[in-house]
Structure 1
Amino acid sequence: MLHVGPFDDTTVRALNLARLPPLLEVTRGSPEVLVGLVDGPVAIAHPELVDAHIRELSDKSPGTCRDTDSTACNHGTFVAGILSARRTSGAPGLCPNCTLLVRPIFTETIGQNELTPSALPEELTAALIDCVAEGAHIVNLSAYLVRPDWRRQRELEQAINFAAQRRTMIVAAAGNLGTVQSSVITQHRWVIPVVSCDLEGHPSQSSTLSPSVGRRGLRAPGEGITSLGSDGSLVASGGSSAAAAFVTGTIALLLSVFPKASVAEVKVAVTQNVATRSTAILPPLLDARAAYQSLKRRQS
C-alpha cells in the first residue's frame, strides 16, 4: 500500500471530499502520462519537486522561476505542488510520477497585488499548441484572459479544436469573478471547466458559474488548500486554479491505472456522464472513487 501524506486537516478533508484516497493508494501516476501545465513558471529547485518528472517546453518563456517572489512563480509553483510534489511534502502531490510539461504564460513582471495572473489570448493559444504538439494527454489551464478580441478568441478556439483532434483533454479553471459568465474556453464542448468549492462541497463565493460550466464541468476543493510556496515553504491558497488541479490530477491517475481506456471513456467517468445533466449552472462534485470504479468495470 502506498504511503499518502502527511497532510494537514484541511487537505485531508479536501481529498476525502473528492473521494481521492482510494485512487491515491493505487498509484502515484506513470511517467508515460504527460500533463501540460499552462500557468506561471515553477520553482523546480523546490526540495519537494526535485524528484519530479518536469520538462520545460519553451525557450521564450523559461519554465524555471527567476524571481521566486513573483506572483507568477508563486501561482505556478502552487499548482505544480498539487500535481507533482512528493506525497510526503504536505502538498497533495496527486500524480508525482507523471511527467509535468511546464509551459508558462504568466510573466514575472506582473504586480504583486494581482491575485489572479492574466494572459493574452494569443499567449494561451501558443502555449496550448505547444503542449498538444509535445504529446500531452491532459492540459491544465489557469488564466484570466485580457483583451479577448474576436480574432484572438477564434484562434484560441481553433487551438482547442486542435487539442480535441489530438485527443488531448483540457481542464480549465472557470475563474474567480463571483459572477455568472462564460468565456471562449469554458464554452467549448471539449473543455472540462472547474469551479472551486469549500470543504462542505458548496461553491465558493468567488466561483464563476455559467450554463456551460454546469453542463460539462465539475466542482472540486479550492479553499484553504496547502501546497508549495516558491520560497521553499508550504502555503495555503485556493480558487478555481487549485480546484482544476484536483481534476487534472485525478485524470492523470486514471490514465496511469487504465492506459488502454479511451479518452471518451475517461471523460465520461470523470464528468459523470454529462449527457444526463440538467441545465443548472452548478456542476457536480468531483468523485474520483466513482470514476475509478466506472473505468474498472469497463476494463474488466
Structure 2
Amino acid sequence: MQFMNKKNKTVLTPVKGEYLIKFKEGYEGEKQVRNLSEIERFKHSKWVPKDNLLIFTFDEQAEKTHTMSEILDELNEDQTVEAVIPVFEDEEGFRRLVVPNRLLVAYHPGLKDALIDKLAGTYSIAEQSRFGNWLILELPEGVELTSASENLEDIPEIDYIEPVYYGVNDAEEISTNDVRWNLNSININDAWTITKGNPEILIAVIDGKPDISHPSLKQSFQQGLSDDWDFADNSIFSSHSTQILSILTGQRDDLQGISPLSRIISLSVNLNAQYYHQRAEAIYYLKSIMEARLLDVQPVKRVVANCSWKTSGDVRIIREAIQEAAAAGVIFVTSAGNENTSGAHYPSDYSKTINGVFSVAALAPSGRKADYSNYSPTVTISAPGGAGQPFDDDDIYCADLNNSTAFVAGTSFAAPHVAGVIALMLSVNPALDIESISDILVRTAVPISEQNPGNWQYLGAGKLDAGKAMDEIRKNNEIITEPTDTDIPDQHGGPKINITIADDTFDNIDTDLFAKEICNRACMEINQLSGNWVLGSNVRITINDSNGSSVILNYTI
C-alpha cells in the first residue's frame, strides 16, 4: 500500500503471515483468540480487549498449507469482525500496525468547524483531539484507506492525513544505604551541593500508570494522580513508570532520585498497546502547560519530558506533537533504544531534526556501552543504564510495584538520568535555552573512547557528569558576598532587590544558604522580566533586618 498525503508519502508493504483484526463495538476477541491458539500453524497473538484489537502471526509454513487463507476467509465472514488487515512494514523496516477503517486527519489551526461541516454526511468523527489539531474519522463501509485519503487530499482545511497507527510493547526495558553506582557515576553528590531541584521546574514522565503509593514516591505525589494526566484509561499499574519516577524524584534513603525537589507529574499512556495519537495528545497537553506557564494554579517555569519508549517508525502525529511542544519550550529526553543497532529509532532520532530533543544511550558500570544499547550519530549523550541480564548490582536499583524494589536495565533508565540533571540545571537558571543546555552537557561529559574503542563516536558527547554540569551553572551564576558596611556601586545599570526580614529570623538562619536561595530566586525571574535584566547585568541584593543590619550581595546574571 502506498499511502500519500499532502506533504510526503509512506510506502507500506504487507508482512506475510502477520495480521490485525478489529472487532465490532460490543464484541470481544476471546473466542477468536481461543480458536486461533488451537491451529497448528499459529505462532502467537496479542489481544487488546479495550480497543477491540487482535494482532496475530502464523508461522512460515502456514501459507504453503493453505491454513492461513482458510482462517482469513473465516475471520472475514465472522459477524463480530469489523475488518482484517495485514501488518505492514515501512521503507525503514519498521512494523506498522494500521487500524482499519479509520484515518487521522490533521487540520490547520482555527479551521476545525469548517472541516467538520465539509465532512458531514460522508464521514463520522470517532474521536476529537483535546489539545492538538486533528480528528479521527470512521470511514464509510467499503471505502479503503488509500482511496479515502486521496478523496480528502483536496480539502483546503486539511493539513495532512495519515493512518491511525497503533503501538504495542513500546517500553524500552531489558526483559531488578549509599548512593548507588549509577548516581556516583554521574557525580550526583557534587550536583546536590548546589541544588536538589525546584518545584517550579516540572518533570513530566510520559509512560504507564505508576504506583505512587511506593514509599519513595509518596512525597512527590501527595495530591495523587490527576484525571487530566490519564491518556490511556488504563487501570493497570506499570513497573516501568514506577521505576523511572524513582530515578527522577525518589525520596527514600536507599532510593534517591536525581532531582527530588522538582515537581513531577506522570502522564499515563499505554506502552503495551495504544493508538499513537493518544500518546501525541499527552505531548500536546505539555505544550499547553508550557504556554500557560501554569499547572493547577502553580507557576511552571520550564517543562522536561522523559520519553522512555519507542514508536514503530517515524509516526507523523508523534513527530509534529514533539515539534510543536518543543517550539513552545518543552524539553524532551528520549531513550535511544535497546536493539544494539545503529539503525533508525524513533522518537530519539528527532534529536537531529527537532531543537529540544535529546537522545540517550546506556552505559554499564565500567563506562562501556551496554550490550543492548543502540548507538548512532543521533545519540546526544550516554548515561548509566545497567549492564543487563542477569539483573544485579551492575544494574539500576529502582522502586517497583507493591512497595518492592528491583534491579532493571535499559535505555529507558538511562534517559531519566539526563532528564533529572537538566531539571537541576533549570532549577538554578530556568532561562537557559536549548543551545546552552546542550553545550554544557556536551562540554562537561566524560570521554568514554577508551572503554568503547569501536563505537565511541556513536555514543554522543560521552558520559553524563551532573557534578561538572552543575558547576558550570554555578560559575555562570556566581554570588559575591561583601562586608555589610561596604557600598557596592551598581554595574551596567543593573536592577536592585531589597528584602526585609523579621528581626528574630536573621540570627537563626544560615546566611550563605539564605543568600544563595535569594539569588536563585532572582535568577528564576529573569525571563519573566525585561529591560535591564540581561546577561552580564549586575543585580544588587540588599537584605535588611528590623534592627538595621544588612547584607549586600552582588549577583551577575
Q: TM-score, normalised by structure 2?
A: 0.45
1:175/1:195 contact within 8 Å kept: yes
Corresponding position of 1:145: 311
Return the structure number with greater helix share.
Answer: 1
1:297, distance to aligned residue in structure 2 (A): 2.4
Candidates 335, 338, 357, aligned match of 1:176: 338
3-state SS of paired residue (1:103):
strand
- Taking only aligned residues, the RMSD between alpha carbons, in angstroms, comes to 2.4
Matched, 1:156 2:324: no
Q: For residue 283 of structure 2, what is the aligned residue in structure 1? A: 128
1:45-91 superposed Cα distances (whole Å, 9 cap, x missing partner)? 112211114654434436xx8444xxxx1001000111121042x22
Question: Could you tell me how far apart the structure 2 residues matched to 1:220 and 1:273 are?
Answer: 13
Structure 2: which 5+ residue stretches go unaligned?
1-176, 291-301, 387-394, 446-454, 479-557
| Aligned-partner SS, 2:378 | helix
Residue 100 in 1 paired to residue 258 in 2? no
Match of 1:76 in 2: 241
Residue identity in the other structure for 2:241: G
Q: Larger RCO: Structure 1 or Structure 2 (Cα < 8 Å, ≥ 6 residues apart)? A: 1
Matched, 1:200 2:366: yes
Amino acid at match of 1:45: S
CA distance in 2: counterparts of 1:51 and 1:273, whole angstroms? 31
SS of 1:26's equivalent in the other structure is: coil
Query: Is 2:480 aligned against 1:291?
Result: no
CA deviation digits over 1:146-204, x for unaligned, max 9? Answer: 3x4x6xx2222211211221121110011111111123422223311001100111110
1:181-238 CA deviation, whole Å, 9 max, x = no partner? Answer: 123422223311001100111110100111111xxx1110111111101110111102
Of the three residues 216, 220, 224, the one matched with 2:383 is 220
Please point out which of 237, 253, 262 is paired with 2:408: 237
Q: Residue in 1 aligned with 2:194?
A: 26
One-letter amino acid matched to 2:210: V
Offset of 1:299 from its aligned partner? 2.7
CA contact (8 A) 1:35 1:98 kept: yes
Cα distance in 2 between the residues matched to 1:295 and 1:60: 36
| 1:99 Cα deviation from its structure 2 partner | 1.2
Structure whose residues are more often strand by fraction: 2
Report if the CA contact (8 A) 2:191-2:468 is conserved: no
Is contact 1:87–1:94 with CA below 8 Å preserved after alignment? no
Cα 1:204–1:244 shift into 2, 3 Å: same
Deviation of residue 279 (structure 1)? Answer: 9.7
SS at match of 1:101: strand
Matched residue count? 266
Question: Identical aligned pairs, as a percentage?
Answer: 24
Against the structure 1 CA distance between its residues 273 and 201, is the aligned structure 2 distance closer, same or farther, given a 3 Å change threshold? closer
**Residue in structure 2 matched with residue 3 of structure 1 by the alignment:** none
CA distance in 1, matches of 2:229, 2:310: 21
Determine if contact 2:232/2:274 at 8 Å carries over to the other structure: no
Q: Conserved in 1, the CA contact under 8 Å of 2:310 and 2:345?
A: no
Partners of 1:126 and 1:272 lie apart in 2 by: 35
Contact 2:208 2:270 in 1 (8 A): yes
Task: Supply the distance in 2 between the matched residues of 1:167 and 1:240 (Cα, whole angstroms).
Answer: 24
Q: Alpha-carbon deviations, 1:110-138, whole Å to 9, x = none?
A: 4xxxxxxx655323322211122223511
Letter in 1 for 2:337: G
The reply to whether residue 255 of structure 1 matches residue 426 of structure 2 is: yes
* Bigger radius of gyration among the two: 2
- Letter paired with 2:185: L
Q: In structure 2, what residue type is equivalent to 1:99?
A: R
CA distance in 2, matches of 1:87, 1:235: 14
Three-state SS of the structure 2 residue aligned to 1:75 is helix
2:361 aligns to what SS in structure 1? strand
Taking a change above 3 Å as real, the CA distance of residues 125 and 15 of structure 1, as seen in their structure-2 partners, is same
SS at match of 1:187: helix
What does 1:102-121 align with in structure 2 at a 5 Å threshold? 102-106=266-270, 110=272, 120-121=275-276
CA distance in 1, matches of 2:266, 2:442: 25
What's 1:48 paired with?
216
2:273 maps to 1:86:
no
Residue 267 of structure 1: which of 434, 438, 457 is its match? 438
What amino acid sits opposite 1:220 in the alignment? A
The one-letter code of the counterpart of 2:469 is: A
User: Which has the larger displacement, 264-273 or 153-162?
Assistant: 264-273
Q: Which moved more, 1:33-42 or 1:285-294?
A: 285-294
Residue 255 of structure 2 aligns to a residue whose secondary structure is coil
